[in-house]
Amino acid sequence: MPYVTIDGVNYHYSAGMPGSGDPRQAVLFVHGAGGSHARWSFQVERLGREHLALAVDLPGHGLSGGAASDSIEAYSEFIREFSDRLLGFPFFLAGHSMGGAVALDFALKYPQRLAGLILAGTGARLRVLPAILEAFKTGSVPDNMPSFMYRPGTPGEVLKAAEKEIRSTDPAVFYADFVACDRFDVSGRLPEIDVPALILTGDQDLLTPVKYGKYLADNIKRASFEVIENAGHMLMLDQPGAVNELIGKFMEKHS
């Protein structure tokens, strides 16, 4: 399992790369609140056949050291340090949910480093229900979390696996992440972003519904918008084939 050391702390990432050792482009995937690199496993596997594809565990998440942060800006700075060590420029930056917020903040600060943005199940503002914040603050996990994350009709075994993953994560990590999301708001700064952007939203996303993606697409100058059918908030796990195809075409277009 690959790690990179930053300021004496080891951070984990997964990687995919063509057998020829000659990737066409580089893409870095950033997971959402309480998640890990595994959220992007289908994308790293498929896109890694042609490109250098990395999915990082943010500080305090997955197999990474360090501590979770209550600041999107802090995560964005981590991505800067991580990409400085492992990627050439420009590269594609993909983020899901909270990871999308991290990607947006990064694009506002470091546009010269990016070939493009891929924003999945996210928004310019990510308010969190007070009841959810309070639950994680007190160390408990809301029972209905998986049902919000996945589309209606998701097989029971998938929901059980999701619940197991959620309960294996320290509630303090979720709390920090959701505080970071709740504070995040770049809705007035989207017109400043001037890199190609692909916006992906699941048609059955209950957490960041279609209108969130449309707002991004309407306000980012060089954005394209795609609604993924039969997909909830975890669209890259619900419909990996469709997501992979759209990302692949986007990277090819803007290579």
Q: What is the pLDDT of residues 62-112, one digit of tens each?
A: 999 999 999 999 999 999 999 999 997 899 999 999 999 999 999 999 999
Mean pLDDT, residues 187-211 taken together = 96
> Do 98 and 125 meet the contact criterion of CB atoms below 8 Å apart?
no
The one-character DSSP state at 58 is: P
> Do 190 and 164 meet the contact criterion of CB atoms below 8 Å apart?
no
For residues 104 and 207, give the distance between their C-alpha atoms in angstroms, rounded to a whole number: 18
Greatest CA separation for the chain: 50
Percent of the chain with pLDDT over 70: 100
> Do 132 and 178 meet the contact criterion of CB atoms below 8 Å apart?
yes
Tens of pLDDT, residues 34-54: 999 999 999 999 999 999 999
Model pTM score: 0.95
- If one compares 136 and 247, the residue with the highest pLDDT of the two is 247
Please, what are the domains in the chain?
3-126+184-253 (3.40.50.1820)
Q: Could you tell me the pLDDT band of residue 166, with boundaries at 50, 70 and 90?
A: confident
Q: Could you tell me the pLDDT band of residue 176, with boundaries at 50, 70 and 90?
A: very high
Q: Could you tell me the pLDDT band of residue 190, with boundaries at 50, 70 and 90?
A: very high
Round the average pLDDT of the chain to a whole number and report it.
93
